[in-house]
Structure 1
Amino acid sequence: MVVIRLSRGGAKARPFFNIVVADKRTRRDGRFIERIGFYNPIATEKEESVRIAQDRLTHWRGVGAQVSPTVERLLKQTAAKAPAAA
């Protein structure tokens, strides 16, 4: 099964996550198929905290990729922020 999940990067006490499409059997920070975005939990107001390529997300969901609960939560948060900003 293919899953859309977070892959941790960054330094100790300064997390940074890539949003990746990967095989469910691979380890969290291991091999992935495609990087479709990022999440920076410690971003300031001036910096972008979440970026997701919507076209690639739609593609992977269309071919059956499952979204992890954390990524689903991030998607809902960005969808809620988008109409407020527009």
Structure 2
Amino acid sequence: MLKLRLKRTGRKRSPSYRLVVMESLSRRDGRPIEELGYYNPINKQYKFDVEKIKKRLNEGVKPTDTVTFLLKKAEILK
């Protein structure tokens, strides 16, 4: 099953995340199928590719709880 989830990047104590589509059983930092944006929790910055995200959601990809919260905050989900 495919999931829309966050992949951690960045240095120690300075996290940054990429929004990716991955197989649900793969590791957190494994190889993604597609990258759809990024989120920086320190600066509260994010940039998402809205068209690709909506396309993937229509295909049946399930977002994690954290990603659902971020997408609602970005007004992509209602």
TM-score normalised per structure 1: 0.83
Q: RMSD of the alignment, in Å?
A: 1.0
Q: Distance in 1 between matches of 2:57 and 2:74?
A: 17
Q: Deviations over 1:6-40 (max 9, x none)?
A: 00000000000000000101000101100000000
Name whichever structure is richer in helix by fraction: 1
Secondary structure (helix, strand or coil) at the match of 1:7 reads strand
Deviation >3 Å, runs of 4+:
none
Name whichever structure is richer in strand by fraction: 2
How many residue pairs get matched?
75
Gaps of 5+ in 2: none
Q: Distance in 1 between matches of 2:62 and 2:74?
A: 19
Q: Which residue of 2 is the match for residue 9 of structure 1?
A: 9
Secondary structure (helix, strand or coil) at the match of 1:17 reads strand
Q: Distance in 2 between matches of 1:22 and 1:71?
A: 13
Aligned residues with identical type, % of pairs: 36
